[in-house]
Amino acid sequence: MLGGFRFAADLPFVFSLRDSMSFSRLACPHCSKPLKVTEDLAGQTRNCPYCKGTVKIPDTIAAPPPAGPPGIVVNTAGGGAGAPAPSVRKRRKKAWFQAGSGDSASSDVSLVLSGVLGAGFTVVWLVAMLPLRGFSFGQLFWDRGLVPFFTTFLMFWSVGILLLKWLNMKQQKEAMLLDVLPTEIAGEITPESLDRFVEHIRGLPVAAESFLVNRVLRGIEHFRVRKSAAETVTMMESQSAIDANNIAGSYTLLKAFIWALPILGFIGTVVGVSTAVAGLASSLDTASDMSSMKSALNGVFGGLGTAFDTTLLALIMSMLVKIPTSALQKSEDDIITAVDEYCNENLLRRLNDGREGGAERGAGSGQDVSIFREAVEAAMGTHHSELENWLTRLDAIGGKLTSQVADGWEKINSQVQQQQKRQAAEASFQQTEQQKQLQAQLNQMATAAAEIQTTLSRVGDQAATMQNNVTGSFANAQATLQQQFAGLQQGLNGLNTVLQQLSQHNVVVQQVPAAAPVASVAPRKRGWFGKAR
């Protein structure tokens, strides 16, 4: 943001309050001190940084008076031109809620004071919750072990830090109303007018602990040493980054508290669960029947329910700290942005180091300016004619390039169309051939299917004939078997009749005498290997 005025700081111009539309002049109704307010503060109420009186900023602010000529000092207390500047007042000490030595602007606050405030708030809160101990809300702080005490202290310590930072931010906003670089001292900031500006700044009621005053004072002192507007712009960019980092670093402890609150809640839950589990184990060891075990389980599950209350309480506290922290950090970032804008409009644009047409040349007469303009125009005349010639040539080249490109595109388009037509013809021819081949294959398949159908019909007829033959053979075999079985039955009947007749007569069985002995036959001789011959 600051680097955007590097070129403007080197130009020989004289700026006044009319050049900046973001700031306007307003006099305090109590102490008549000049205040500089922005247009976005119209209709609001602010405290005067000089007398701490309440100032009602009107809805419409009149335009500021024109600045006096450079080098003339105007006494804001009522004196005329050339009156001596007001005496330097003693620098105010740093505020009671700020940290550091007070020599530079800082967003840090006293951790000891915020800790004391947090401890006091914690004691008051716990005492207030003591009568509510019989309710669930009071039990969250008194009957959940030691973890709720620590989480409550961290939350109120964070509240103490936020309260002190809010007071610091309020002081920074009051300092934004100061007219740190009044045009009554000088219209431009030159090495000759630096002492008067420094004297005016050191006499302000808000000194170096303000980001605005600290930024302007450091820029002027750097300009006094280096005597270069460009280097001052670079230094102001660095100082803006330093202030932004200072604000971001001041929230480190708050971010640590926001991280630690849920962790403490989880620790309380783990402790409660472990205690409940240990109690369950001991109850199961001593349980004698189901009723005692049931009562032990009810107590354990009730303890588990209360153990998770610590995490719930810690998460709620973390959210209550996170939301105002983010809002406050956003407000402080807006203050740094407002300081950057003020320095751009009222410091960097008014710096004049006397180089490359500084204050002396910029404050010259109108005749010198017109002579300078004529000389510049005469020197640039030949360049203008050369530029016109080059523009004519470039137009001719552009026309030729355009026609060539158009012709090339037409040729390419015609070639593409021909190629597309050729590809379409080839594709249609290939499609026709494929259709013919497919039709021939389909015809062959139909012929084969007809032949197969004929063969299947012939096979069916032969199968039917064979079935009829087999059926006739089985019928003949059955008739033959029936005839044979009938003959067999007849034979068995005849045999049965004969047997019956035999059973009616006596059958004499006589023993037949033995027959004469048969002459013995001489044994045959055995051969060599024992076989009979």
Predicted pLDDT at 119: 93
Spatial separation of the C-alpha atoms in residues 47 and 59, rounded to whole Å: 17
pLDDT, one tens digit per residue, over 206-261 is 655 788 888 888 898 889 898 888 888 889 899 999 989 999 999 999 999 999 99
Predicted pLDDT at 21: 38
Which tokens is 400 given? 């030729």
Spatial separation of the C-alpha atoms in residues 199 and 349, rounded to whole Å: 21
Spatial separation of the C-alpha atoms in residues 339 and 6, rounded to whole Å: 17
> Quick one: pLDDT band at residue 15, thresholds 50, 70, 90?
very low
Q: Are 211 and 335 in contact (CB under 8 A)?
A: yes
Q: Tokens 């109690």 — which residue?
A: 279
Spatial separation of the C-alpha atoms in residues 126 and 117, rounded to whole Å: 14
Q: Are 14 and 358 in contact (CB under 8 A)?
A: no
Q: Are 210 and 172 in contact (CB under 8 A)?
A: yes
pLDDT at 175 over 70: yes
Name which of 181-190, 192-201, 376-385 the model is least confident about: 376-385
pLDDT higher for 20 or 57? Answer: 57
Q: Are 48 and 31 in contact (CB under 8 A)?
A: yes
Q: Tell me the average pLDDT across 193-205.
A: 85
Spatial separation of the C-alpha atoms in residues 50 and 184, rounded to whole Å: 19
Three-state SS for 291-311 is HHHHHHHHHHHHHHHHHCHHH
Spatial separation of the C-alpha atoms in residues 105 and 254, rounded to whole Å: 20
Using left for φ > 0, alpha for ψ between -120 and 50, and beta otherwise, residue 188 falls in beta
The one-letter amino acid at 301 = F
Q: Are 197 and 69 in contact (CB under 8 A)?
A: no
> Quick one: pLDDT band at residue 150, thresholds 50, 70, 90?
very high
> Quick one: pLDDT band at residue 327, thresholds 50, 70, 90?
very high
- Provide the CA 506 distance to its chain's centre, in angstroms: 129
The one-letter amino acid at 23 = F
Predicted pLDDT at 257: 93
Using left for φ > 0, alpha for ψ between -120 and 50, and beta otherwise, residue 34 falls in beta
Quick one: CA dihedral 139, 140, 144, 150, positive or negative? Answer: negative
% of the chain beyond a pLDDT of 90: 15
Q: Tell me the average pLDDT across 312-330.
A: 93
Q: Are 187 and 349 in contact (CB under 8 A)?
A: no
Predicted pLDDT at 36: 72
Predicted pLDDT at 285: 65
Nearest to 77 by CA among 32, 116, 40, 144: 32
Mean pLDDT across the chain, nearest whole number?
75
Q: Are 185 and 34 in contact (CB under 8 A)?
A: no
> Quick one: pLDDT band at residue 60, thresholds 50, 70, 90?
low
Name which of 82-91, 217-226, 314-323, 353-362 the model is least confident about: 82-91
Measure the N-to-C terminal CA separation of the chain; round to a whole number of Å: 145
pLDDT, one tens digit per residue, over 289-311 is 666 666 667 666 666 766 788 88
pLDDT at 197 over 70: yes
CA count, 13 A, side-chain hemisphere, 57 = 22
In terms of average pLDDT, the best of 42-51, 220-229, 369-378 is 220-229
Note if the pTM is more than 0.85. Answer: no
Predicted pLDDT at 65: 46
From residue 287, give the alpha-carbon distance in Å to each of 141, 284, 291, 299, 401: 33, 5, 9, 13, 100
Which tokens is 180 given? 């740190």
Predicted pLDDT at 381: 62
pLDDT higher for 393 or 375? Answer: 393
Q: Tell me the average pLDDT across 24-47.
A: 75
Backbone angles phi, psi at 95, to 5 degrees: -65, 155
% of the chain beyond a pLDDT of 70: 70
Q: Cβ-count burial of 343 within 10 angstroms (0-12 exposed, 13-18 middle, 19+ buried)?
A: buried
Name which of 89-93, 111-115, 264-268, 269-273 the model is least confident about: 89-93
pLDDT, one tens digit per residue, over 102-148 is 456 778 888 899 999 999 999 999 999 988 888 888 888 887 778 88
pLDDT, one tens digit per residue, over 72-87 is 333 333 333 333 333 3
pLDDT at 6 over 50: no
> What is the helix (H) or strand (E) element at residue 214, kind and residue range?
helix 211-226
